[in-house]
Structure 1
Amino acid sequence: MSTDYQQAREALGLRLRELRLTAPGGRLTGTALANKLGWPNSKISKLELGRQTATPDDLRQWADATGQPKAYEELRTRLAGFESHIRSWRRQLTDGHKPVQDAHNAAQANAKVLRAWESSWIVGVLQTPDYARSVLTRSAELHRSPRDIEDAVRSRMKRQELLYSGGRQYRIILWEAVLRALVCPPSVLAVQLDRLTGIVGMDTVELGIVPLTASLKQPPGVGFWIYDDELAVTETWHAELWVDDPGSVATYVRAWESLSESAVYGADAHNTINAARRALSSR
């Protein structure tokens, strides 16, 4: 967890404590507030000490229970301020996967130059419906999130319209391992690889493949997107990180540029994809 994020969470906790101590009906003890809310005492202390992140509903209940409902909007604004950078999957997937896909659609639609590195799977904007369905189903299983898979797949497929609308340039690099990873049935992967061969040579997409045998200046690391060199988006097992401070974005740009030097393009990328396709057929 970043220092800035933790400091913001602790600052929110101090504000919650202040509301508890200045309740119009008289100062509330942590135990008294917990009883009013029906929460364990430990939750009160964790929130006030910045050891747990409040949900919007937690904040609304807190403001109401301390007799200061008008404070909710201020609290929600504070929460949104630091959640915009670290977006936990638990929170994002409360209403399923489609809203997450819609957010990425909007981010890509607003960018002109989009750079991506992916070491785990084919990037969403190049996925076939069946491949997307497999990846999203596995994600729903991991996070135990609502199963709105078909809505999420349709949203992800809608993103692909951006490839053909013009006005933006995709510069995507994939590690060769993603061409061979069976995150879906072999038959689905075969169609997905065929789809990639059709992408090579598109005027809106520069597709590079980093061969497994390539010399790397940097370890593969996790995948990420960079939008107009102003925003970087990456993900971990528990959260997505949306990074917009210039210094951090510059680090992602340097990582992308370093990885791109190990990539092959054009006919060589085509040959690498076809080699993975032949290997799959021989299994």
Structure 2
Amino acid sequence: MILPPNSTTGATSVHRAREALGKRLRALRQQSGLTGKQLAESLSWAPSKVSKLENGRQTPTDDDIHGWTRTTNSEDSAEALLASLHTLEFQHAEWQRQFRTGLASHQNKIAELDAHTKLFRVFEPTVIPGLLQTAEYARARLAQGISTFKVPNDIDAAVKARVQRQELLYRPDKRFHFVLTEAALRFQLCAPEVTLGQLDRLVSLSTLPNTRLGIIGFETEYVVAPWHGFWMLDSDRVMVETFSAELNLTQPQEIETYATIFNRLAATASYGRAARAIITRVMDDLAPEVPRTGEDCP
């Protein structure tokens, strides 16, 4: 039995890393002879912040580390603490932090990662992957991110950056294997006409020579529960998106687990004409919901 993602080592290792960093901060405070209240007052923080940081319930910022080590007369520890913090931030990249300057910069960061990746293995149970999205579908998805996280609205630049990333699909040195559920095709995440255009694009992309597009139809019996989507970049990293953060898993045992899960899901998917038949069936079901041009005219 393959356990659900919450029971894998990814989230646990991130939590333990945050706790370990908190213990190091607590040790520096205690060595300085300061109470939590005294440290908070010295830094003009709420008293609860010191407790949250020391108990691993909140991730510190670079400024927090600098302030903490300065106040506890332990600035020689700052470099090592910052290194631990940045490793933690890589493992658990909070969306609020990643999007603080807008969404376009995040798309450009992903593009840099894409440039070094040769094999993309992607499973998505609820949405169309970014590399396959039309500009209109991408705009709907990115708009939700802006609304949810209350970040700068640079949606035009973000959509442009996401669409530009799709040039990778036409490079012969790249290989792509996408596995989607039929639910991902049907979820109403945007206007019906946008979804219909998106599905039509999937049909076209399914014929690319370096791309395998698999669809797991509703009639399929799953051998692994589709707990969440994930991206495997070569055999180096697995990226998992949660509501609050992006998890980057790099431990060999984690990558092996996800590779096994991907292979088992991919083995149950339909490809080629069979995949396109599922997409076309969804398009036929959706078509009556799309307003026809001029149908509201008298």
Q: Pick the TM interval, shorter chain.
A: over 0.9
1:143-154 matches, within 5 Å, as 143-154=149-160
Q: Which amino acid aligns with 2:65?
A: L
Q: Which amino acid aligns with 2:165?
A: R
Whether 2:171 is the aligned partner of 1:162: answer no
Q: 1:254 to 1:95 in 2, by over 3 A?
A: same
Count residues with an aligned counterpart: 280
Unaligned runs of 5+ in 2: 1-9, 290-298
- The separation in 2 between residues aligned to 1:9 and 1:179, in whole angstroms, is 37
CA deviation after TM superposition for structure 1 residue 110, in Å: 1.1
- The separation in 2 between residues aligned to 1:212 and 1:180, in whole angstroms, is 11
Q: 1:3 matched to which residue of 2?
A: 12
The correspondence for 1:195, drawn from 201, 205, 212, is 201
Q: 2:43 matched to which residue of 1?
A: 37
User: What is the percent sequence identity of the aligned residues?
Assistant: 37
Q: 1:177 matched to which residue of 2?
A: 183
SS of aligned partner of 2:99: helix
CA deviation after TM superposition for structure 1 residue 217, in Å: 0.7
Runs of 4+ aligned structure 1 residues displaced above 6 Å come to none
TM, length-normalised to structure 1:
0.92
Q: 2:214 matched to which residue of 1?
A: 208
* Deviation sequence 1:139-160 (CA, Å, 0-9, x none): 2222223222222111211210
Q: 2:113 matched to which residue of 1?
A: 107
- The separation in 2 between residues aligned to 1:140 and 1:81, in whole angstroms, is 26
SS of aligned partner of 1:240: strand
- The separation in 2 between residues aligned to 1:193 and 1:2, in whole angstroms, is 34
1:226-241 matches, within 5 Å, as 226-241=232-247
Task: Give RMSD over aligned pairs.
Answer: 1.7
- The separation in 1 between residues aligned to 2:108 and 2:159, in whole angstroms, is 11
The correspondence for 2:84, drawn from 50, 57, 78, is 78
Q: 2:293 matched to which residue of 1?
A: none
Q: 1:282 matched to which residue of 2?
A: 288
- The separation in 1 between residues aligned to 2:57 and 2:196, in whole angstroms, is 46
Unaligned runs of 5+ in 1: none
TM, length-normalised to structure 2:
0.88
* Deviation sequence 1:79-118 (CA, Å, 0-9, x none): 0112211112222222222232223222222111111111
Whether 2:24 is the aligned partner of 1:15: answer yes
SS of aligned partner of 1:102: helix
Q: Which amino acid aligns with 1:59?
A: I
- The separation in 1 between residues aligned to 2:11 and 2:177, in whole angstroms, is 29
